[in-house]
Amino acid sequence: MSRNYADIAIAANRVTKSYRLYARNSDRIRETFHPFRKIYHRPFTALNDVSFSIRKGESVGIIGKNGSGKSTLLQILCGVLQPTSGHVQATGRISALLELGAGFNPEFTGRENVYLSATIMGLPKEYVDRNIEKIFAFADIGEYVDQPVKLYSSGMYVRLAFATAISVEPEILIVDEALAVGDIFFQQKCVAHMKEMQKKATIVFVTHDMHSVTNLCQRVILLDSGRIVFDGEPLDGVSQYTKLVHNEWQQENKATDEGGSCVADPAAPQLTVADHVDGWIAVSKEDRGGALEIKILKVRITDADNMIKDTVIKGDEVVVQLIVEASRQVDNLIVGYTVKDRIGNAIFGENTCSSLPDDFSVAGGTALISYRFVWPEVYPDTYTMTLGIGEGNDPFVHKIHCWAHNIVSIAALVPDKGVHGIFNNPITSCEVHSLHPR
């Protein structure tokens, strides 16, 4: 079958990467000078005869268990490592997000480090001059841009590093787990930027986040023990990956955690609700959208006893409180919410027009609006909530007065039985009938 090589951004041909592993450093010397060439090392093959090609403009995820060779492959694609055998050919300008902030000088300010990193990446000063304010705006570190980065929190550090790294306009972008940086709000911003970059760049990224794979990738390459075991559709690749992981768990006979009734994702970022006095979060004009005849000024999430709520489990009652300002009386008032994962997918939501038979109205001036819903059993992670106000009689087609986008985050806990997907849907009955009794 003929292949149009002009359409290929990356081609890997029978790439193998092998290492010699020594129990101690002195064994290297013993092996070098041993008169009978005694072997002191243990050979290890990180990649074994890996071949594939990636078309220009394609978004490809590389997945696999720890130690499967993913990061080694990315480093070879970037030219950081050389293969033991085989070769890689890349056509286009490459930008790599491998170790964010690795080149930062802790004594330099954020501004100075941006220029330093840009110089390392080969960008002229004039380019940085034109784009530095965009970099700072994306990183969202405020007045700290002119403070030494040694004073930064870890979140500020990686946000600035990520913003600097993506300031290049590459033809090929190679990413190693960089979408997991910062809090949930910054992660959603990173994903949105990645989706924009997909329109004009070839993207290759390693991740353990299967939601990112299915949402951002057109294709998945699955590695296991240094070999490609799957290359195809993302959903099929994730299915194969899940089988590998489950098989590993079964082989290791891994014991389940019996330490408590609920577990949270240990990698979940810190929440924002508790960082505000009494839980009220002010909604800036940048966070609002809509006709704005009613504006959401502040929001907070509580339980039925008016206590601030930053974690939830199935069956918890969640109370959404809004302080709003209306420029006129609004009848046929609709309020609602949407819960999104950290990739920005809407997981569930509802509004009063769909749920309740009553009609609601609000007079001109300020008002407090409260509504409640019961939290379902969803995958343990951190989620954002988008809160909205509208006017009309149709739950889907009505005038939207104000949306407060991704304004608050909340961590979902689950019973330690686990969740089989995004959420569990209980089996309501089961029957067993013998067909051929013995």
The residue extents of the domains of the chain are 5-252, 273-415
| Cα–chain center distance at 363 | 41
List the CATH code of the domain at 5-252. Answer: 3.40.50.300
C-alpha count within 13 angstroms, C-beta hemisphere, residue 211: 18
pLDDT of residue 417: 64
pTM confidence score? 0.63
Mean pLDDT by 10 residues, the chain (438 residues): 70 92 81 76 89 94 90 88 93 76 81 86 85 89 90 85 81 78 76 84 86 85 94 85 67 43 32 53 87 94 92 93 95 93 84 92 94 91 91 91 90 74 77 78
Position 269 scores a pLDDT of 31
What is the C-alpha separation between 10 and 413, in angstroms, rounded? 41
Q: Is the dihedral of CA 170, 175, 179, 180 positive or negative?
A: negative
Distance CA 310, CA 299 (A): 13
d(CA 351, CA 314): 20
Please give the pLDDT value at position 71.
86
Q: What is the CATH code of the structural domain delimited by 273-415?
A: 2.70.50.60
* Strand ranges (E), 278-392: 281-282, 288-289, 294-302, 311-312, 317-326, 333-340, 346-351, 365-374, 382-391
Residue 251, pLDDT score: 58
The predicted pLDDT at position 263 comes to 33
pLDDT at residue number 423: 77
Predicted confidence at residue 243, as pLDDT, reads 72
Output the pLDDT for position 326: 95
Give me the long-range contacts of 367-371 (CB less than 8 A, separation at least 24): 367/323, 367/324, 367/326, 368/321, 368/322, 368/323, 368/324, 369/321, 369/322, 369/324, 369/335, 370/319, 370/320, 370/321, 370/322, 371/319, 371/320, 371/335
